[in-house]
Chains A and B, each alone.
Chain A
Amino acid sequence: MTERPGDTPIIDIRALSLAYERGGTRNVILSNLDLSIARGEFLVIVGESGVGKSTLLRVLIGLAKPSSGRVRLDTRPGCRTPMALVFQDARLLPWRRVVDNVAFGLEGAGLSRAARRTKATEMLALVGLADLAGRWPHQLSGGQRQRVAIARALAVEPDVLLMDEPFSALDSFTREGLQDELQRIQAKTGKTILFVTHDIDEAVTLADRVVVLAGSPGRIAAEVRLDLSRPRQRRAPALTEAARHLRAELSRRSAEL
């Protein structure tokens, strides 16, 4: 599932720009961004808030329209949901039980109710919450809610899983637990993951490749490839070194701007 030379990237972004006008001033969020993601790659985009990393995910999922540029997808043809997004806050639907939240995205897929439930139960087992299928979202902890959100995204069998700072609102124990969990899920499913965070340590722990966005509008300021075996040892020397390098690049770029 790793990138091979000659493979077409699953997502190929060329010259993507996004700007909007408000009160007569033009806000440029993204300008001329080029980025491609290989099939099966775990790509983490890291950057300060306001560099447009969330906006990039919103463009990919269709919640925002780019002003110009092109996104080419090499996902399964005819797939209703080539990508699925996990939001920063879990955004579960409070009036649905956990299992029906997970089944949510399947409702347009022409499956029977029973088939949707079966699939949802499978996904809950994958994130380790099979026992909580009948609960209401308000009965879950923050970490559990985010797991349900991940299960909901995986249930639609997307080619690419988009994650928008999914662990940033969690306490550090829960966060590290979920980081391990996500690596395990990726190893098991081989999903392509595009993960956005402002936490450099999180980035190097998770990523096959880290891309640093900096400036306003955000540009790619640095890029690091991490060919380390998984599961990764948290704070392994190679990761610490990569994090140090990224921090240095980030502050150098910030100073230039």
Chain B
Amino acid sequence: MRYLRSTLLAAAGLIAFLGFWEAMPRLGLINPAFLPPPSTLPAAFLREISLGIWPEAVVASLSHYIVGLAVGAGAGIGLGLLSGMFRPFEAFTAWIVRLLRPIPGLAWVPFAIIWFGVQPSAAVFIIAIGVFWIVFFATQGAVRHVDRDLIEVAQAFGFRSPLSRLVKILLPAATPGILVGLRTALGQAWMAVVAAEIFGVPGVGQRMMQASSLLSTDIVVVYMLTMAALYGLFDTAFVALQGWLLRWRA
């Protein structure tokens, strides 16, 4: 009952929002070229699909997203584990981390273009950097906070090598923390996708820039909503995966 009511309220809120949005340009309060009413969006969406632009842009962006995420998360988890497990490694990298960490991912755009050109690999690079730091710190912290008592259990049963410590205790115990980092990275990476593509790498961001320079704002909004939908999809899938992986928790 309570659930039903909050669902109804949420739907009502969304409808009110769309109604307000529709009314503003229709009543001439805002130039429709600056804010296209939502009723024009389905047509714009269908046009983009029939031209084959939408699928192409979405596939391109998704491939940047997924590859960038995989590279950044892989490196972040790997180095985070090393840093969390071995104090000397952490000490050795401490100042390097301090130097590089504050540099925003987007500040790497010039080098991304110089090194990779206006190519998908440049977008992957920028996305990966943003993801890397989030996942690196999440992993390092999670490993460091693993219950010492559980590590002792492994030792008491004869698992004394760093590798068996990692596999038997650290990795499973750190999984909840790593997953929290990954979920944050999932959102961060979307931001980086758009940013990277705005500089010309083919994809959703590039298409948005094209459309806005032609003042086709309906198309811009179509892609904005596309990104919201894709993010929602990924996040929902991730939360489901997380729930399954952490089903051992109370």
Stretch at the interface among A36-44, A87-95, A247-255: A87-95
What per-residue 1/0 map shows which CB atoms of B117-158 lie under 8 Å from chain A? Answer: 000000000000000000000000000000001101101111
Stretch at the interface among B102-110, B164-172, B203-211: B164-172
Does B250 lie within 8 Å of A108, measured CB to CB?
Answer: no
Does B157 lie within 8 Å of A87, measured CB to CB?
Answer: no
In the complex, what's the smallest C-beta–C-beta distance from A95 to chain B, in angstroms? 4
Does B169 lie within 8 Å of A93, measured CB to CB?
Answer: yes
In the complex, what's the smallest C-beta–C-beta distance from A97 to chain B, in angstroms? 8
Does B149 lie within 8 Å of A108, measured CB to CB?
Answer: no
Stretch at the interface among A78-86, A113-121, A125-133: A78-86
Q: Which residue of A lies closest to B161 (CB)?
A: A108
In the complex, whether A257 has a CB less than 8 A from a CB of chain B is no
Q: Which residues of A contact B248 (CB under 8 A)?
A: 94-97, 136-138
Does A84 lie within 8 Å of B169, measured CB to CB?
Answer: no
Q: Is chain A's binding surface mostly helix, strand, loop or mixed?
A: loop
How distant is the Cα of A81 from the Cα of B247 in the complex, in angstroms? 31
Q: Is chain B's binding surface mostly helix, strand, loop or mixed?
A: helix
Q: Which residue of B lies closest to A82 (CB)?
A: B158
Does A62 lie within 8 Å of B155, measured CB to CB?
Answer: yes
Does B159 lie within 8 Å of A108, measured CB to CB?
Answer: yes
Does B157 lie within 8 Å of A91, measured CB to CB?
Answer: no
In the complex, whether B216 has a CB less than 8 A from a CB of chain A is no
A91 in contact with B153 given A107-B168, A136-B248, A138-B250 (CB within 8 Å): yes
In the complex, whether B175 has a CB less than 8 A from a CB of chain A is yes
Out of B149, B158, B247, B249, which one reaches A87, CB within 8 Å? B149
The 3 closest A-B pairs by CB, nearest first: A105-B157, A138-B250, A95-B172
Binding site for B on A (CB under 8 A): 61-63, 80-81, 84-85, 87, 89, 91, 93-97, 104-105, 107-108, 136-138, 156
